[in-house]
Each structure stands twice: as structure tokens, then as C-alpha cells.
A = this chain, B = another copy of it.
């Protein structure tokens, strides 16, 4: 069962060790997508209120397999309010973060040997997530000029074993947001192919960055464009709670099998040892569904990096959201490039780990003053090449 370790985690561990040697201020660690801003005060207040005022046996007791009723209802309602949808409690499954959500979604809609398509660049953990289910992961090569979908390559890959398409917009690692045009075209192709193959093809929409979208960017809600959508959400980024493992799957009720799928998630939980996200966290986040952390720092950091790095000579598709950016590396070999950066104590992640050559990922969820100080290091790095 032992696989390759996460390259990102290893770079992060290196950054920590290096910081211990030369001081935290001297390492520009752009490796990990760990939010840098606090959760909203309302989350902390609600946690304390629950701990002080609730009857503790029931507060910490077993929760229903599909999630706490009030949390499921609140999630459905907030999605309806925000995106003009018709979710009900029965369509919502509370889950311990996006990894857990995808683990359930893929198992519910595939059997061993079925195919799941995703699009490069993609979060490298998708491979272990999918392969452990017995399904086969197929990767559509990137359109590196826009990081929207490379539709020609996608259509070539569609066959009747494809049961799901896994998308991630706003995207890790590119920061790109799929446009309404992209989503409409994707939905149209999938609907045609569903008819041709005579079975549903689900969009599994991994949306932890949904709330981190920059000014003026077109960011459609996926499920409103395609009935067979399983929306996998995590509060990790929007509420800055990555360690507390809380999210949900929302099954579009317009999808014929919504209630059955949610029941299946409950059965799948039993087999993979999942068994409900923590009760107190379910209750606390359900009071913060219309809020986010102060996410503005990410746009500030994006603007600085995009402007300054472009000036230096880097070639970058401007991100529409997230806290990632995916510039071209200054040599074809991204690993060699990132190793040179490492010598300057600039920790960036080579693109190969995301299924694309010749790029690197910057995770700019770090303090702005550090972003500003890092520009000199990027300049030094560029000076080696330009």
C-alpha cells in the first residue's frame, strides 16, 4: 500500500527545517496551501458558546451518519439563497473535508475499472484519491495558454467507461476560474455523451476555493449548469479551518438519484472508516455559512506577485481566484528550476507534480510583507537565466 510521498508536503517540511536554521523571516515558503488568515470571530464565538451552553452529552454525542440534521438543512438553505438552487436536507452529506468528499463521490458513481477524467494541471492527491477506489484516472493535457479546458483532447478521451469528470475551479495550482462559457460547453458535451452512452456522467466539482474569487472574475456555480453535479465543498479555505476537517457533498436534486446517492455515501462511510465529521465543528460552521475569513490578503498578494513577476519577465496566466499562481519556469526542467530557487530560500513547487511540465506553483497564502520581500529573490532567480 506504500506510495510516493507528497512532494508538496516534503517541500513544506524542508521549509520548516530551513526556517529553524536561518530564521522564519529569511525563508520564502510558497509551498503549502495553508490559509494565512484567521477564521471569522463568529466561528470562535460559536464554538465557545456551544462548549459553555450546550448539554455536553448531546453536544459531543454520536451524530447521524449523513450529518447533523440542522447542519444539513442550513447548508441546503445557504446554497439556495446564494446560488438560486433547490437543495433540501436530503441532498446534503456532511463530510470531513474535500478529500473525504471525493473519496465518497467517486466510490458512489464508479465501480472498479470505470474511468474518471480530470484536467491538468491538477491537485496531485487526486491520483491516490481515485486509484484507491479501483477507478482509473485519465488526465486531459493542459491548455497552457489559458488553463481553461482543452476540449479537443477531452472529447477524444470520452468513452462509455467514463462515469465522472472531476473538476476543480477556482483551480489549484493555476488559480484559474472556469468561465461560464467553459462550463456551458462542458455541460453540453457531457449531456450529449450521456445520451450516446445511455448512462449518467457525473461532474464531481471540487470547490474548496469557491469563495476566493478576485474582483470582476466570472465564476459560475457549477451545479446550476449541469444536473448530475456532486458539489464537494470544504470549509478549509473559506473559514480557514483546514485542520478541523469539515465539508459537505451537495447532490443537485435535479439529478435523478440524489437521495439514493446520499444514502450510498452513508454506506460508503462504513467501509472506509469515515463515520461523520466532528459534531461540534458541524454545529459551529452551520452558523457561519454566509461568512468567510477576511480573504482580501490573497488578492493583494496576487496583484503584487502578478505585477512584479511579469515585470521581471515571468510568463503567467493571471489567476482569477485561490491563493495560487502557476508561472512558466525559466527552464524546461521545472524540478531543476525549483532546486535553484531553493538555494535562494525560495520554496516553490515544480509543475510536474501537477501533471504539466515547465511551470511552478506559488502558494501566496503568506503575509504580504513577506511577498514584497520575496520579489528580490525572484529577481535573483531570473538573473540566472535572463
Give chain A's interface residues, CB within 8 Å of chain B: 1-3, 5-6, 9, 32, 34-39, 44, 47-48, 51-52, 56-57, 59-63, 65, 96-97, 99-104, 107-108, 125, 128-129, 131-132, 240-246, 263-264, 267-268, 270-281
Contact = CB atoms under 8 A, between A and B. Distances in A.
Given A100-B274, A271-B132, A48 B52 contact: yes
A57 B34 CA distance: 9
Given A3-B267, A96-B96, A243 B273 contact: no
A52 to B, nearest CB: 7
Contacts of A35: 57, 61
Contacts of A48: 48, 51-52
15 contacts: A1-B267, A2-B267, A3-B271, A9-B65, A34-B61, A44-B56, A47-B51, A96-B273, A97-B275, A100-B273, A104-B273, A243-B276, A244-B279, A245-B275, A278-B278
Contacts of A99: 270, 273-275
Nearest to A245: B278
A230 to B, nearest CB: 14
Given A1-B108, A38-B57, A51-B47, A270 B125 contact: yes
A243 B97 contact: no
A243 B61 CA distance: 5
